[in-house]
Amino acid sequence: MENRRSSSLRERQKQQRSQRMLAAASKLFNERGYPDVTIEEIADLAEVSPATVHNYYSSKDKLLLSIVEEGDAGIFGRLLDLARSFRGTPSAAMNKVLTEITLRSLDYLNHKVWRHAIAASITSTDSEYRVGFSEIHERFAKIVNETLAWVLARNGVELPSDQARILGSALYKIQHTLFIALIIAAKPDIECYKREQAEHVALIMTVVDHLAATAKPVRKL
């Protein structure tokens, strides 16, 4: 029993140190920009040694990837719940979900840090970083697909799986493309982003409506 308690305590302490390091890195990256922050400064703010930071996260890129993974995990948990609680048209529901991805992403990293994070997902020599970002994209595409399927089912529509997958992928790619345009702008304009996204989503959803007109009807949720 005592050994289990000791092990549990060590795990909690390890998790707490990890959270302090991620919080410190996020704060410094957002305040001063990713390139100018050192591991030593992160360690000092997190009240651990630089060796501890290196032990948990072998590089700044690994820290950044972990911040993105943790932040996005929180978003994943919200999207389907948001769609289920939203009362409106399928187009409005999906637009709300995609906007939520963007707004919540900017909650934990500012647009300048996101520029580096996404650029590094293409140019980094660290394959683990690139693969990690690719997996995040795959999870977002999957949850958008699932959300679209649920929204349509709630409105009595079930599309063939291949059509639903392609349309869900198109919706996510719209969000991601507009997100990149938003963060690379000299002065990001959220309202402009929202208008553009709404226009794109509305067009995609007209395709959904057309396909739904000939699709198999299902019982509304």
Which domains occur in the chain, in start order? 1-57 (1.10.10.60), 60-217 (1.10.357.10)
Its pTM stands at 0.86
- Which burial class, exposed, middle or buried, applies to 144 when counting CB atoms under 10 A from its CB (0-12, 13-18, 19+)? buried
- Give pLDDT tens digits for 79-118: 888 988 888 888 999 999 999 999 999 999 999 999 999 9
Alpha-carbon span 28 to 35, nearest angstrom: 10
Question: Please, which residues have CB within 8 angstroms of residue 194's CB and are 6 or more apart in sequence?
Answer: 99
- d(C-alpha 109, C-alpha 14), whole Å: 24
What are 129-149's pLDDT values in tens digits? 999 999 999 999 999 998 998
